[in-house]
Amino acid sequence: MIVSQVRQLLHHHVSPDGPNSMLVPARINELCERFFVSGKWKGMLVEVSLDATEGYVTLPRRCESVLGITVQKAPKTPFGRWYSFSPGGPGEVDLESYSGPDVVVDQGDGFVTYKDSPYESFRLRLKVPNASDRNAGNSFIIKGTDSDGKPVYNSDGEEGLVVNLSASENTTTQYFSTITSITKAPTLGYVTLWAVNASNAETQIGEYEPGETNISYRRYRVTRADTSEVPTVNALCKRRYVPVVSENDDVIPGNMGALKLGLISLKYEDTNDLERATEYFTRALSLLNAELREQRGGQINTMRFSPHGFGLSRVAKHY
């Protein structure tokens, strides 16, 4: 189901102004964000294939977190950020001397590029294929550190460098050593980000969708003893909530009954009738659960427990 369909079918549960009311997509976004944080409903699982050559994988924008993962076709357990600091964990791994099993560890959210720059010090180049996006009104605000490791400030004394998209290629004179934050204006087309060294060699490190504004990706470290092969990683991920913008955007979850009950719940919440708001939202979740049960069919999920090798390295046999 797409936004234009929801407008026609459910607008009367949002506003008396008809299907063209600007309140309709705003309410859809408010409701769907709540659905996303309430469970894993139909349409919220995404499978992606990623290259872990650099020792990590960065999830695409529309993926929130890894639920299951395989490295070189073998299933692995994705460990949390605390795993490296736990007594039975790997600690700080020395990749040159590492000889343990393949390990996947969450590095958290907040990464702004899908790949780190291969250069210690680099300028940034923004390429704008869509001519309609090439104007000073479209800009990027980029925060990071300079070649000396100090935060980058603009000429007004504010942290961050403003890069206007005034040409097909826009290159900074400022050199960076790290990028910590990117805020982007909405565009009509994709914009790519490149790291450029002193010799003008460039490497693409980012690509941003038209509707992206506050950039933030999830990253996982993939540690392997065998580095002779390019590691392929397949991950089953929870879809990240992304607000709908255009009339053709998919509304997820797309269950009509759940959307109707959810919109009614928001109306009662606005009048401070929290009891009825909770009742309608609970009924909406019941519909989503029922839909999910039917989608699963007869499949049975089994749980297998297998201790990792770090904490039991001195035990002759462990199961």
**Domain residue spans of the chain:** 3-37+243-295, 45-112+217-239, 123-208
Position 280 scores a pLDDT of: 98
Position 273 scores a pLDDT of: 97
Question: β-strand 123-127 against 161-165: which pairing, if any?
Answer: unpaired
Position 230 scores a pLDDT of: 73
Position 135 scores a pLDDT of: 87
The model's pTM: 0.86
| Residue ranges for the chain with pLDDT beneath 70 | 301-319
Q: Give the tens place of pLDDT for each residue, 115-172.
A: 999 999 999 999 999 999 998 789 999 999 999 999 999 888 999 999 999 999 999 9
Position 162 scores a pLDDT of: 94
